[in-house]
Amino acid sequence: MKRKDYINYEFEKLSERISVCVSQEHGFGTDAFLLADFCQHKQKDIACDLGTGCGIIPLILQRNAPPKLTYAVDIQEQAIEQLEISLEKSNIDSIVPICADLKTLWNDAPLGTLSLVTCNPPYKAANAGIESSLDAHKIARHEILCNIDDVCCAASKLLKFGGRLCICNRPERLSDVIFAMKNNGIEPKRLRFVSKNENTAPWLFLIEGKKGSKPFMQVLPQMYVWNKNGYSEEMERIYTTGKDEQ
């Protein structure tokens, strides 16, 4: 892909080895770290992150015992360019950046072979809430170019039998996500809610589904991001795991 002359790129360090190229259009937040931790990846995984943005989830997974190979897919050229820059700067060759529409995937996509798919999808339905003036933010936050059923359909095509799909979303979308998973042959198996602290309602949920699995869902203990002293111990672990190990 031919590089455009973007001048608003900056770098944020995930570890001594890994730097993430970020911009006003494509950055990352706490939810990416939560999903990366929740997915419980394995070194033998062949994985894919759909709607990868700057590639933050695949890059987080590189900090400690990374998957064997990870495809990182986004429809926006600038997002893929940022990821390519991060991979060059961090000397990583086990992530494959792909500029493609997840609704159609890409030529030679590894259909029916992946063991893990992750996605931090647009949280808001099309025309719901206040839209950003930046097109990149609209695409990331609203179901403009894809919806949750599109995500689950793409994941189902990529996953092998027993392969896992891990998603995060807002609690008000839980029924939509469960329906979309089941509609595409992916059975919800693990669910966890995340609150800012013990006095607030959940602002996020994390869910894992398995392709072809039988019905049975485990609801995990609720997670809290903050306590009276700052980040909770679990949140500290999630942010720092593998940070300086490589």
Partners of 172 in the β-ladder: none
Domain CATH code at residue 155: 3.40.50.150
> Is position 58 within any domain?
yes
First-last CA distance in the chain: 29
> Is position 31 within any domain?
yes
Q: What phi, psi does 12 have (nearest 5°)?
A: -120, 135
Cβ partners under 8 Å of residue 128, min gap 6: 142
3-state helix vs strand vs coil in the chain, percent to 5: 30, 30, 45
> Is position 157 within any domain?
yes
**DSSP string computed for 108-136:** T--TTTEEEEEE----BPTT-SPPPSSHH
> Is position 175 within any domain?
yes
> Is position 140 within any domain?
yes
Cβ partners under 8 Å of residue 202, min gap 6: 171, 193, 194, 195, 222
> Is position 158 within any domain?
yes
Question: Structural domain of residue 68, as residue ranges?
Answer: 10-186
Give the chain's domain count.
1
What pTM value is reported for the model?
A: 0.89
> Is position 27 within any domain?
yes
Q: 155 by DSSP, 3-state: which?
A: helix
In this predicted structure, what is the pLDDT of residue 170? 96
Please list the pLDDT of the chain residue by residue as tens digits (246 residues): 445 555 579 999 999 999 999 999 999 999 999 999 999 999 999 999 999 999 999 999 999 999 999 999 999 999 999 999 999 999 999 999 999 999 999 999 999 999 999 999 987 565 544 444 445 544 445 356 789 999 999 999 999 999 999 999 999 999 999 999 999 999 999 999 999 999 999 999 999 999 999 999 999 999 999 999 999 999 999 998 755 443
> Is position 29 within any domain?
yes
